[in-house]
Amino acid sequence: MAGLELEATSELIPDRKLVEAEHGPVVALQHPHDKRVFGFKVITIEVYEAYRLRKERGDTNALERLLQERAVWPSRESWNQYVADAVFETLAFEVAYRKAHGGTDVRLADDDEVPEDGNPEWRWLTNRKDGEGQVFGFRKPGRAEIKMFQAQVLARGRGERVPDPIETLLRNCGTPEFGAWLTANPFGIDTFGEAFVSAYGMQEARVTPK
């Protein structure tokens, strides 16, 4: 699927200052083929949590609903009409919106990407691509933290309102810099979360023949 141009310039939204004065920070996305531009309110950690709960409860259109609620330019009605007329174009916007808020691929950092003063006992993860991105370190979670994580997962599965298990683990084990970044980029909960549990052993075990 083709990516979108992730721009935040006055050229894409000519009246950006007026739009943001009314709605707050906006991310502008332009489809590379039809060149249509739409502005969406930047997501907050609270809004992300509501989206994640919808998704966990089986709402397969949670991300589509999220964009519908955040669309502000040229108007929500314009976005709704675009969605009604689209085939797969809106899926590209969904991917781009996630990427604009931290939803990019995460991997183990290479040795030369780890800070010189980085703790060698930690796992260092990065979303860098083409030299751009972040590198964050995470300590090994303690046994009590893992037990709490498992309990929260089960509670969420029962529909209880408890803190997001993987977000809690990431914030507790990551650096303060990561916590601040995550608040501004909540889709990083998914991508860094998957990389974190994989880095600390959550990998598929190999089944050997009997």
Q: Which residues pair with 7 in a beta bridge?
A: 28
- Say if 5-100 and 107-199 have the same CATH topology: yes
For strand 107-108 and strand 71-73, is the pairing parallel, antiparallel, or unpaired? unpaired
Q: Is-contact 92 4, C-beta < 8 A?
A: yes
User: Scanning the structure block, which residue is given the tokens 């964050």?
Assistant: 136
Least confident span in 56-60, 71-75, 95-99, 188-192: 56-60
Per-residue confidence band for 115, with pLDDT thresholds at 50, 70 and 90? very high
- Fold annotation for 107-199: rbstp2171 (3.30.2220)
For the segment 27-37, the average pLDDT, to the nearest whole number, is: 87
Q: From CA 120, how far away is CA 105, in angstroms rounded?
A: 23
Sheet with 123-126: strands ordered across: 107-108, 123-126, 135-138
Q: From CA 65, how far away is CA 123, in angstroms rounded?
A: 35
Per-residue confidence band for 138, with pLDDT thresholds at 50, 70 and 90? very high
Domain ranges of the chain: 5-100, 107-199
Q: Give per-residue pLDDT as tens, 164-179.
A: 999 999 999 999 999 9
- Structure tokens belonging to residue 153: 């997962």
Per-residue confidence band for 11, with pLDDT thresholds at 50, 70 and 90? low
pTM summary value: 0.84
Q: Is-contact 91 29, C-beta < 8 A?
A: no
Closest of 146, 126, 130 to residue 191, by C-alpha: 126
pLDDT of residue 14: 81
Q: Give per-residue pLDDT as tens, 48-94.
A: 999 988 988 889 999 999 999 999 999 999 999 999 998 888 888 99
Chosen CATH of 5-100 out of 3.30.2220.10, 3.40.190.10, 3.20.20.70, 3.90.45.10: 3.30.2220.10
For the segment 33-58, the average pLDDT, to the nearest whole number, is: 90
| Average pLDDT of the chain to the nearest whole number | 88
CA atoms within 13 A on the CB side of 92: 21
Compute CA 36 distance to the chain's CA centroid, rounded to the nearest angstrom. Answer: 23
Q: From CA 85, how far away is CA 96, in angstroms rounded?
A: 19
* pLDDT for 10 beyond 50: no
